[in-house]
Amino acid sequence: MISNILYFILGILLPYAAEQVAYSKLIPATDKQGTVVTQSYGWRIVWDASHFLMLIGAGYRVIFVDDPLSQWEWLGYFCFLFGVILRMWSLKELGKFYDSGIALKADHQIVQTGPYRILRHPLHIGTISQIGGLAGFAPVWLGAPIVVASLAVCVYLNRTEDKTHAERFGESFKPYYSKTWDIVDLIFWKR
């Protein structure tokens, strides 16, 4: 049991905590003057609740179930780690332009470095990867609805953010939009 607790702490909680620390280390404090918030934190509460439930589910599975992890659970674990790494890399690239809602700063620019060269919303894709990966540890009746709800929030936020950027940047947003992908484009192909 002690070794299982250590596995959970080192394998899941530590990477998750490292991402949380990245917010304070990689995002500089910025002046909020001139910032236009077009979507507040609001719907992201679904993601926070999803993370919490999936962390509890993964903790229960790793700590209290003595069976070795299945291939599905290992795949989920690596998806979770991929999500953590993608989010930390994205935070580093966004820097002062990061906001927990959809906000445009007075000096806002479209970030086109790091994962933003290919993906329009790598923070969102990282979140979905984390939640989906942890759902691999949960029973299907719990994991499936949480992943579906998280994907719905992701699609809504991605479309809202794309619309906001298109309105703000006009024609200069179109080339970036056409050369990058988001989660809907990756699944259904780009319009």
Q: Residue 78 sits in a domain of what CATH number?
A: 1.20.120.1630
| Total number of domains constituting the chain | 1
31 in any annotated domain: no
118 in any annotated domain: yes
28 in any annotated domain: no
Please write the tens of the pLDDT for every residue from 118-137. Answer: 999 999 999 999 999 999 99
Question: What domain range includes position 172?
Answer: 39-188
Please write the tens of the pLDDT for every residue from 85-115. Answer: 999 999 999 888 887 777 777 788 889 999 9
Rounded average pLDDT over 8-22: 90
pLDDT of residue 38: 62
Rounded average pLDDT over 142-158: 90
174 in any annotated domain: yes
pLDDT of residue 107: 82
- Quickly list DSSP for the chain: -HHHHHHHIIIIIHHHHHHHHHHHHHS-----TT-EEEE-STTHHHHHHHHHHHHHHHHHHHHH--SPPPHHHHHHHHHHHHHHHHHHHHHHHHGGG--SSEEE-TT-----SGGGGTBS-HHHHHHHHHHHHHHTTS-HHHHHHHHHHHHHHHHHHHHHHHHHHHHHHGGGHHHHHHH-B-HHHHHH---
